[in-house]
Structure 1
């Protein structure tokens, strides 16, 4: 089994199309097809179901894709490790992050990284914490800044960034606005604005209400912070969010109330095991640990990251 066969297979799996994959790889379509057929012969299993319009993975193909992506990521990490020993950090840094993650200013951190390592290509992807953890485990991301979703495993480890309490944001005219700290029971009958289920704040809030045994109704589901704050500003619902959301400019007219609960919004850096981490990921984490004041979220300077 040759690496190029795996590279060709992964490209077709990603594009779901031989012609597009061939164009991206800059190889002939006939050569790409031959490469995939050679891999299928060696594995004695069809990897794709082919039609005139598209291709889809078979069960064997789905199983191979997980391992192929991991193998290619390890090969890339090995090449970059050799370059790093030779004194030059090259290659790609593939980073995932949730929106407005606490404990790190992602843009500022990446700018500092680029100044130090201009030969490294930076790729950034936003997604929910569950999806990001899966991407790191599969080798598609070098690391991710997310909300803790699971304990460390043989494929993942987590480095704490920060933790903070959850708060309720509501319109000044809302009945809750004149009170003090609230409990989940106080919020049981409210209409909520919240994120999609995989986003960290939603996961944390769901856990708070589940622990309290209180049902809640999310009537307005969004995928960005600004939309959430605008909907609360219009009085269309309340939102339970990490404390630092209340420091944003769009939240200046909203009332923020502490939530009385034990759960906190805990953010971490998710990485592969030490031996599988890429040189670029290690360099980024070293930069974060060495300069927390320059790379933490300026909205809350009291929450400084620990790279452990």
Structure 2
């Protein structure tokens, strides 16, 4: 089983297309098809269902994908270790991140700029996304590590370095009927119109879990993929939202009302794989990230 065939398989699986995989790998499509067929013969199993317009994984393909990613990651780590001995850190680091507003002062841009100044040969691939999806990306080997939010300070298959823990409050516009209250119960908010991120967003997950813990449901009428838009909707009285205090940072027109019981907790972390060794470049960048967290 050759590494190039595993790399071809992973490219097809991630792109969902032999054509897009060939463009990504910079080889002709016939070479991609031949590489997959060779791997299927060696494993005596079909890895893709080619009966639809989109190429999808078979059960065997789904079983192979995480192992293929782990094998390729181990090969990259070995190569980077040798290159480090030869006098220079090289390689590619794949990082996932939430929106900057949610990182409470931690700057991914500053981290990458500081690292690049010392290791100019290292290449970065950065992907912004939902926390729940980035959890799977780190577990499955698509990402080396990620800046994300999870609830409960625990996620199977991940090592978590805490960034920040904040108790969220109810955000309403300054003239709202609840703006002057000392606190509020979740049960009194059944008639409120809420704005929040999509279901896989870290703040949305935290708020939904708080309502579930209280045995309640809420109505999220407005879904947006942007923290600043959420705050703008609150400021103009369009809807209420659960906000971490650090999101506001000097912004006016929004009142934060503490939640008396079952307050949502927004926790952010650096997540790395618990059962996969990272390459030299990713390990060095991760250590610098931890140092910046300690400095904060």
Give the TM-score normalised by the residue count of structure 2: 0.89
**CA contact 2:151–2:266 (8 Å) conserved in 1:** no
Rounded Cα–Cα distance in structure 1 between residues aligned with 2:272 and 2:34: 36
Rounded Cα–Cα distance in structure 2 between residues aligned with 1:162 and 1:266: 6
Q: Which residue of structure 1 aligns with residue 269 of structure 2?
A: 268
Query: Which consecutive aligned stretches of 4+ in structure 1 deviate over 4 angstroms post-superposition?
Result: 51-54
Range 122-131 or range 270-279, more displaced: 270-279
Rounded Cα–Cα distance in structure 1 between residues aligned with 2:286 and 2:26: 34
Q: Which residue of structure 2 aligns with residue 25 of structure 1?
A: 25
* Deviations, residues 15-54 of structure 1 (Å, cap 9, x unaligned): 3332332233222332222221111111111122335954
Q: Which residue of structure 1 aligns with residue 133 of structure 2?
A: 131
**CA contact 2:131–2:202 (8 Å) conserved in 1:** yes
Give ranges in structure 2 of 5+ residues lacking alignment. Answer: none
Q: Which residue of structure 2 aligns with residue 202 of structure 1?
A: 204
Rounded Cα–Cα distance in structure 1 between residues aligned with 2:260 and 2:103: 20
**CA contact 2:73–2:278 (8 Å) conserved in 1:** no
**CA contact 2:171–2:242 (8 Å) conserved in 1:** yes
Superposition pairs of residues 177-216 of structure 1, within 5 angstroms? 177-216=179-218
Rounded Cα–Cα distance in structure 2 between residues aligned with 1:56 and 1:235: 45
* Deviations, residues 181-239 of structure 1 (Å, cap 9, x unaligned): 22323323211111111111111111222222232111111111122122222312100
**CA contact 2:96–2:127 (8 Å) conserved in 1:** yes
Q: Which residue of structure 1 aligns with residue 164 of structure 2?
A: 162
* Deviations, residues 225-271 of structure 1 (Å, cap 9, x unaligned): 122122222312100021111216xx422122222346521111100
Rounded Cα–Cα distance in structure 1 between residues aligned with 2:128 and 2:14: 18
Rounded Cα–Cα distance in structure 1 between residues aligned with 2:88 and 2:123: 13
Shift in alpha-carbon separation, 1:182–1:86, aligned structure 2, 3 A: farther
Range 198-207 or range 75-84, more displaced: 75-84
Rounded Cα–Cα distance in structure 2 between residues aligned with 1:275 and 1:58: 24
Shift in alpha-carbon separation, 1:244–1:66, aligned structure 2, 3 A: same
Superposition pairs of residues 69-84 of structure 1, within 5 angstroms? 69-84=69-84
Shift in alpha-carbon separation, 1:52–1:60, aligned structure 2, 3 A: closer
Rounded Cα–Cα distance in structure 2 between residues aligned with 1:229 and 1:2: 51
Rounded Cα–Cα distance in structure 2 between residues aligned with 1:189 and 1:229: 20
Q: Which residue of structure 1 aligns with residue 178 of structure 2?
A: 176
**CA contact 1:102–1:244 (8 Å) conserved in 2:** no
Query: 3-state SS of the aligned residue for 2:223?
Result: strand
Q: CA deviation at 1:166?
A: 0.5
Rounded Cα–Cα distance in structure 1 between residues aligned with 2:96 and 2:170: 27
Q: 2:91 matched to 1:91?
A: yes
Rounded Cα–Cα distance in structure 1 between residues aligned with 2:10 and 2:240: 44
The aligned length equals 292
Q: CA deviation at 1:8?
A: 1.2
Rounded Cα–Cα distance in structure 1 between residues aligned with 2:203 and 2:22: 40
Q: 2:145 matched to 1:143?
A: yes
Rounded Cα–Cα distance in structure 1 between residues aligned with 2:26 and 2:150: 40
Rounded Cα–Cα distance in structure 2 between residues aligned with 1:274 and 1:178: 49
Shift in alpha-carbon separation, 1:211–1:18, aligned structure 2, 3 A: closer
Q: 2:36 matched to 1:46?
A: no
Rounded Cα–Cα distance in structure 2 between residues aligned with 1:35 and 1:83: 28
Rounded Cα–Cα distance in structure 2 between residues aligned with 1:280 and 1:149: 29
Q: Which residue of structure 2 aligns with residue 285 of structure 1?
A: 286
